[in-house]
Amino acid sequence: MGSRVSRIFLFVLAIASAPAGAADRVRVQFEGVADELLQNVKQLVTLEQQKNSELLTDERISKLHRRATGEIREALQPFGYYRPEIKSELELDGGIWNARYTIDPGPLLRVTELDLQVHGAASSDSAFAKLIRNFPLKVGDPLVHSLYEDGKDSFMQLATERGFFDAQYETSEILIDLEKYTAKIVIYFNAASRFYFGQVKFTETDFDEDFLRRFATFKEGEPYSFGKLLDLQNALTDSDYFSQVEVKSGRDEKDPLRVPVEVIAESRERTKYTMGLGYGTDTGARATAGVERRRVNRRGHRWRADLKLSEIGDSLTTRYIIPMENPRTDQFTITAGREDQRQTESSSTKYLLTGSFTRLDNGWQKTLFVNYERDENFEVGSQRGSSTLVMPGINWTRIRANDRIYTTHGQRFLVELRGGSETLGSTTSFLQTRINAKFVRKVVTWGRVLARGDFGYTEVLNFEELPPSVRFFAGGDFSVRGYDYNSLGPREDGKVVGGTKLAVGSLEYEQLLGETWSAAFFYDVGNAVNDFSEPMARAVGAGMRYRSPIGLIRVDLARPLDDLGKARYLHISIGPDL
């Protein structure tokens, strides 16, 4: 007890006798190094770390100064400097100790030999062979310790991801010869045995297990892969069937090399309702309402209905969706609906019945479809009539974007081919193709360039038998700005009746003005024509952009450069770029 009191007394005495203002008595200066080297030196030199301590005595300052040279050497080694020259000075000037260290890091120690080997079941695994090829240090590189540690850790990370759960390092070391100034990296990694997927069990009871297993890209008995487990969890989450998904895996007590998988999923509400309001200069005020049955049966079938109301037309559409072999990307859809269009120079009432099959093919979403369309009492300019079209077709779509709300690097492609034949029940025979593309690219850090193009071509026996929905028109928010919606195209009796061909292009530059605002400048050109030799409409303009959670809000002022259609100087639109 007495010795403990004595130690406390001596500690208090030391504090009381420490010179006042010790924090102002030591200045430490490092010369010859900067950036990461300097930061590491400061972190490892004890005198630098304790220079503001109230307990720093003259004796301790001298002691820490003598230790600093070795600490500096130690701080430089992780960056490959093993032969530094260090000059140190410690002077007392006016009651202030000045410690100065002049550092010449010397030559870099470079990797002279790599000996990386994988043993066990992974010795012929291509993923480990690639890991060795991509090891972050190569012969001739400076010996940076952090890169060595990253490369070493990648062996164990890959083993865990690929099911080598008993893997271990046999050897992992850096052999340094300071006399020859060489460095040899040696890593012998024993991956041992590989594990395999065991039985997959689902706790979800609202769907058949056979249907849920189709979301998995693996089967029982295949080599284990953590990436495939993560892919399964993401696929089930993205399906919109479930509000929460948890995928668990563990070892099988009966078969030590099997990894059984358990999927715990919680279903979403069976019925989803949606409503929305919006405005665009093409459509005017608009409203939408929808209802979706997320699961019609245990095989994952869906049903939904959508009502759309706007100043230029209304529609009621219902869809029945059947997931196919790969429910994430493949589906068969039956669509039925009615659309009423009432534009200034055209109107129609269309009844639609469609069967379509969609699947993902090499990154493209491919859709095969057969449309039955009945247009009753359509009017286009001075043309009137009714038509029946049976249209088989195919389209390919691909969208790539780093951010779908506000894209700085992305593109969208659409290629479609469709047609009708009197032999199949259509009022007239025709063949039509359409190609649409848009690109978004970031310019340095302060702007974007957006380019888009739209091309269409139709071969038809009797153009007047085609309803408005199959004719080409131009003009509007997403066509040639500066002109009213669908106001560009061939005319009859002074009214636009649409054309058999379409060519539209646009180039836009957007300048960022802050976190959410930007200004845009654009040039649009194009027209709907019956012959590509006919004149194209041109317009230039500028606008403002506001980045909102629902997408970009665009307000544009455009000036037509030609007098080919009804001018519209203001354009407002909302939505993502792609």
State residue 7's pLDDT score.
Answer: 39
Short-list 120, 128, 225, 132, CA closest to 166: 120
Q: What is the mean predicted confidence (pLDDT) over 464-469?
A: 91
φ/ψ of 511, rounded to 5, equals -105, 120
Q: Which residues pair with 280 in a beta bridge?
A: 284
Question: Other C-beta atoms within 10 Å of 439: how many?
Answer: 16
Cβ-based burial of 498 (10 A; exposed 0-12, middle 13-18, buried ≥19): buried
State residue 120's pLDDT score.
Answer: 93
Query: Please, which pLDDT band fits residue 298 given cuts at 50, 70 and 90?
Result: very high
Sequence letter at residue 537: A
Question: To the nearest whole percent, how much of the chain has pLDDT over 70?
Answer: 96
Is the pLDDT assigned to residue 130 strictly greater than 60?
yes
Q: For residues 301 and 323, what is the distance between their CA atoms, to the nearest angstrom?
A: 6
Sequence letter at residue 10: L
Q: Are 500 and 472 in contact (CB under 8 A)?
A: yes
Q: Which residues pair with 302 in a beta bridge?
A: 321
Q: For residues 148 and 10, what is the distance between their CA atoms, to the nearest angstrom?
A: 47
Most confident of 47-56, 226-235, 565-574: 226-235
Q: Are 264 and 245 in contact (CB under 8 A)?
A: yes
Domains of the chain with CATH codes = 19-104 (3.10.20.310), 111-190 (3.10.20.310), 196-267 (3.10.20.310), 271-575 (2.40.160.50)
State residue 163's pLDDT score.
Answer: 93
The rounded radius of gyration (Å) of the Cα atoms in the chain is: 36
State residue 95's pLDDT score.
Answer: 85
| Cα–Cα distance list, 462 to 277, 417, 429 (Å) | 39, 19, 8
What average pLDDT does the structure give for the chain? 91
Query: Please, which pLDDT band fits residue 252 given cuts at 50, 70 and 90?
Result: confident
Return the percent helix, strand and coil in the chain, to nearest 5.
Answer: 20, 50, 30
Is the pLDDT assigned to residue 380 strictly greater than 70?
yes
And the tokens for 212?
Answer: 């849920």
Query: Please, which pLDDT band fits residue 54 given cuts at 50, 70 and 90?
Result: confident
Q: What is the mean predicted confidence (pLDDT) over 150-162?
A: 95
Sequence letter at residue 477: D
Q: For residues 183 and 558, what is the distance between their CA atoms, to the nearest angstrom?
A: 67
| pTM score above 0.85 | no
Q: For residues 541 and 563, what is the distance between their CA atoms, to the nearest angstrom?
A: 16
And the tokens for 347?
Answer: 């109107």
Q: For residues 564 and 340, what is the distance between their CA atoms, to the nearest angstrom?
A: 27
**pLDDT tens for each residue of 516-559:** 999 999 999 999 999 999 999 999 999 999 998 878 899 999 99
Q: Give Cβ neighbours of residue 232 (< 8 Å, ≥ 6 apart).
A: 215, 216, 217, 218, 247, 263
Short-list 535, 541, 534, CA closest to 507: 541
Is the pLDDT assigned to residue 14 strictly greater than 50?
no
Query: Please, which pLDDT band fits residue 13 given cuts at 50, 70 and 90?
Result: very low
Q: Are 357 and 395 in contact (CB under 8 A)?
A: no
Query: Please, which pLDDT band fits residue 1 given cuts at 50, 70 and 90?
Result: very low
Q: Are 374 and 390 in contact (CB under 8 A)?
A: no
Is the pLDDT assigned to residue 284 strictly greater than 80?
yes
Query: Please, which pLDDT band fits residue 281 given cuts at 50, 70 and 90?
Result: confident
State residue 345's pLDDT score.
Answer: 77
Of the two residues 396 and 13, the one the predictor is more confident about is: 396
| Strand-pair category, 551-560 with 570-575 | antiparallel
Give SS3 for 223: strand
Is the pLDDT assigned to residue 271 strictly greater than 60?
yes
